[in-house]
Each structure stands twice: as C-alpha cells, then as structure tokens.
Structure 1
Amino acid sequence: MPASRVPDSAYALVPALRETIREAAGLALPFFRAGEKTAARIWSKAGGSPVTEADIAVDTFLKVRLSSLLPAAAWLSEETVDDAQRLGADLVWIVDPIDGTRAFLTGHPDWSISVALLAGGEPVLGFVHAPVSDHFYEAVAGQGATRNGTPLRASTQAALAGARVTGPKPMMDTLARGATRDGVTPDFVVVERVPSLALRVARVAEGSIDVGLVSSDARDWDLAGADLLLREAGGSVSDLSGIATTYNRTDPVHGALIALPDGLRAQTVDALARG
C-alpha cells in the first residue's frame, strides 16, 4: 500500500506513539542494571533464547495500547503467539518489546524497543527507542526520519575502502575477501557489533555506521521499524543480492541481510558475491 493510501488516522498517531513507547521504556528500565545482571526474572523460550519479565511486561502493555490506538491493525511481535489473521490484514503492528534481550539482561546499554506499522506489507511508521541513551528514532513514510528531532541522513561514504563496518565476523571476512583488489585488502573501520539489530540499522540510518551486516535468522520485529528509518535516510535493508526486504510473510524469518546507504549497495553486493 503506497504511503498516499495510508489512512490519515495512522499518521495522526505519531504523538501518541511517542508517549506510548516512552511509557513502555519506563516499564523496562527499573529492571536494567548497567554492567550487571538484570533484576528481572529470566527463563528460556523454545529454542533456548532468553526472555525476561520485562520483555513480557512491555509486550503486553504495547499490545493493549497500540490495539486501542488503531483497532483495525493486526499484530505480530516476538513475545506473542502468532495469529495468521495478520496475513490478510492491510495494517499490521510489528513489535519487538526488547530488541537485544541478552544485552538487557547482562547490563549492556544497546537494547531497544522497536515498533513499526505496516500498510500493505510496507513499513509506513517506524520507531526505535534506546532507553539507556534516550535516543528516540522515528520515521514516517515519505516524510523523513529523525533522532530526537534531528533529521537522519545515511552516510555518503562512496567506497568500501575505509568504510565503517559492523556485524558477525564470518560475514565481515567474506566482505573483506570479496572487496580485495590486486592483493590489497580494504582498510575497513571495524565497529563493535551492536547487540540490538534494530539499533544497528538505526545507526546506519544516522550515518555513524556505513555497512551493517546481519546474519540469517533475523525476524520482522527486529527489522521493520529500523528499515523505514534507513529508507527515509537514503538506504535500506536488503538481501545479499540487493533485493529489498519484505515483511508480513507467512514465515517472518529472514536470511542474511545488509543494511547500508544506497551509494554502497552495488559494491557491497558484488564484494559479498565474490567473497
């Protein structure tokens, strides 16, 4: 659904969404301990990934609040049982109540709350809030993206040589091999991996990272809100062949991805293919 066809009522939600997401952060922050283990109860989900009582509290709060703000929208989140009704819905909330749960539970500051509204399968509202730093990112399709009110622009880096790159080491090694010319390996600036995937993509959107590499197994809720930030800032999230990411499919799991400015896409795709 093009942005021009999105109901005005959805765009009018932005102020209420800001307030709602900040309220949700207020539920999680009391459990966070900088540099220490969380005060929240922790258990393992099927598959072994951790979840805390803070994840559940934020998820429950957002489901109630967002559903009341836009009753027509379906729902998909990390901590709620999937409902196939979303597949036939024009409007869908995509939510990660705490993206970077392992960071949250070990006292690392780089966790976030990610919220997106899809219309016709495309993100039209996107929010990523990092409560510890109080960085609040938001985007409206066709109207740009901001961090705490300041417009975002992706990097203008024109070459992989010297690019600031972050992500899993195997993918970084592949990129370096593929980008090697005449026996000279490009001099990447390696950025420490950002545990919250939504926040990693948001930092590409703000221009502090040039190339964000994403290993396979990311989910819609990790990506949708941050992807809109990047699209509005001059880039996007795509697969390794450069095809833009799509959302609200039957299986919300993705393969390996790249998040980067439009100007680096062709070089990066080529390097990964040759690496």
Structure 2
Amino acid sequence: MPESDLDLLLRAARAAAEVATTFIGGDLDVREKEGDQGPVTAADIAVNEVLEDTLRTARPAYGWLSEESPHDPLRLTSPSTFIIDPIDGTRSFIDGSDTWAHSLAIAEAGEITAAVVYLPMRDKLYAAEKGGGAELNGSAIRTTSRAEIAGAQFLATKPNIDPKHWPEGVPPFHRSHRPSLAYRMCLVADGSFDGMLTFRDAWEWDIAAGTLIVAEAGGRATDRAGQEMRFNLPSALQNGVVAGGPAMWDSTMAALGHGPSV
C-alpha cells in the first residue's frame, strides 16, 4: 500500500529529530541570517537536508518551500508543495530549551492537506490530515469551547497587547508565551490554551502545519483580519494569525473590531 502524505511527514519528522538531537551540546556554528531574519545553526541546515532528501525522494513532483532553502519558483506551479520549518524555535534550540519543533506541511491548491509538528525533547507529536481530525501522540485532540475572552488563557507576545490593536481596550485575558509559533498553535489545538495570536506578518513555514492542526481539532485559525489563509503564496507571508476554538475565535475577532464572525 502506498505511503500516505501524512505517513510520509511522520516518517520525515522522526528522521529530522534523529539528526537534530545529535547536535545538542555540540558546536552549533551559530550565524545570523541577512535581513534581521534571526539565527541559523548547523543543526537547521542538517535537518533541512535530511527533510528535503526524505520528502522530495518520495514525492519528486511536489514543490519545496523551506525556511532554510533558496527560493524555488517551481513551487508556485506545482500541484502540491511541502512547507517546512526544519527547526521552529532556533533560539530555543541554541539556548538548550525543549520547546523547539519540526514543522512540516503539505499545501494543495492553497490549502493545507497534511501536517505534523514534532517536539522530540517533549515527546509531543501532533498530526492532522484534512478531514481526518487532529491527534497528539495518537490520541484525538480538541480545542476548548470557551467563549468568554475575559480570563481566558492566551499565547501572545507583549507587543500584541498594545492598546492600538484593540479598539475597545485590551481584553483581560491571561497571557503566556512559547517561542515556537507552531507549538503555540498546537497548544490551542490540544486545549491547553483557549487562543493564540500574533499581529506581525508570519512566515508560512511557521504556521502552515499549525493551521490545519487547529482546524482539524475543531478550531479556527485565520489571519489577523479574520480571513481564511491560502498557502504557497509568492511572498510566503501571512497577515498575522488568530487561532482558537470557534467561540473564542468569534470573541477575539469582535474584540479586534471585526465583528462576531467574518
């Protein structure tokens, strides 16, 4: 029986973890990317190589979009495209934290159809397939059903609670943070948090997998204006992210001045 796209992503994520963990405690050869794009390490490059080899060998017709690869214009005309962040949370990896993740997704005609986010140091493997639900380590997950934003548990960085973003005042939610954007989305998907948001432009490789995982867990993940996201764009950028259970997403959109539903 042919290997499904999701099974392929799962196999690749495990291979990525085997490579990444060999760098822990060693020389990471940390460098800063051009254009204030953050650090990159030897681990990022090595993981990217094993992912590209594993995935493109299995699906040579698929396009390729990765944080650590040169732009490949062929992805824009490919029917399906891999969208990959070899190590989401590179700074955490450098610091010896356990909150970095491998984020892998497949986009077909602008929609994410399969997704995996793997945190090997926390033994957390999130997976989703379009129409097939979302899982954490093989068990089904769901977003919370909470609607009241006051007192809700949110993942957001401090700049996102600037009053300029909230026309009727910043809601009194409880704010926490995790470095990996993909992990933040998964923590909403598994019900650990009620919602997450970031108003900065977001690279597709940071959010593609999380978007499907949230949706298949019963939630919503859109851009900051409440618009459904299409992936594999020429810019590879999205207009921020707001994610939560359906009721919390509605409440968040209302607080942002976009009405109860968009």
With normalisation by structure 2, the TM-score equals: 0.91
Q: Report what 1:188 is aligned to.
A: 173
Q: Cα gap change, 1:78/1:186 in structure 2, threshold over 3 Å: closer, same or farther? A: closer
Deviations 1:163-211 (A, max 9, x none): 101212121244995565xxxx7542222x1100001101111111111
Q: Report what 1:253 is aligned to.
A: 237
1:231 aligned onto 2:215 = yes
Q: Report what 1:15 is aligned to.
A: 7
Would the aligned equivalents of 2:9 and 2:115 in 1 still touch at CA under 8 Å? Answer: no
Q: Which of the numbers 255, 258, 262 marks the counterpart of 1:271?
A: 255
Q: Which of the numbers 204, 223, 227 marks the counterpart of 1:220?
A: 204
Percent identical among aligned pairs is 35
Deviations 1:194-230 (A, max 9, x none): 1000011011111111111113131110011111100
Structure-to-structure mapping, 1:158-173, within 5 angstroms: 158-173=147-162
Distance 1:71 1:117 in 2: 13
Q: Which of the numbers 59, 68, 74 marks the counterpart of 1:79?
A: 68
Secondary structure class of the residue paired with 2:127:
strand
Would the aligned equivalents of 1:175 and 1:271 in 2 still touch at CA under 8 Å? Answer: no
1:88 aligned onto 2:77 = yes
Aligned length: 257
Distance 1:106 1:115 in 2: 23
Structure-to-structure mapping, 1:189-204, within 5 angstroms: 189-191=174-176, 193-204=177-188
Deviation at 1:21, TM superposition (A): 1.1
Structure-to-structure mapping, 1:97-116, within 5 angstroms: 97-116=86-105
Deviation at 1:141, TM superposition (A): 0.4
Secondary structure class of the residue paired with 2:202:
coil
Q: Report what 1:50 is aligned to.
A: 39
Deviations 1:39-98 (A, max 9, x none): 311111112310000000000110111001111111000000011111111110000000
Q: Report what 2:141 is aligned to.
A: 152
Q: Report what 2:20 is aligned to.
A: 28
Counterpart AA for 1:139: A
Structure-to-structure mapping, 1:111-126, within 5 angstroms: 111-126=100-115
Counterpart AA for 2:30: I
Q: Cα RMSD (Å) of the superposition?
A: 2.0
Deviation at 1:253, TM superposition (A): 1.4
Distance 1:179 1:210 in 2: 20
Q: Which of the numbers 36, 41, 44 marks the counterpart of 2:29?
A: 41
Q: Cα gap change, 1:175/1:151 in structure 2, threshold over 3 Å: closer, same or farther? A: farther
Structure 2 segments unaligned to the other structure (5+ residues): none
Secondary structure class of the residue paired with 1:204:
helix
With normalisation by structure 1, the TM-score equals: 0.87
Distance 2:181 2:84 in 1: 13
Would the aligned equivalents of 1:175 and 1:268 in 2 still touch at CA under 8 Å? Answer: no
Would the aligned equivalents of 2:6 and 2:128 in 1 still touch at CA under 8 Å? Answer: no
Counterpart AA for 2:14: R
Structure 1 segments unaligned to the other structure (5+ residues): 1-7
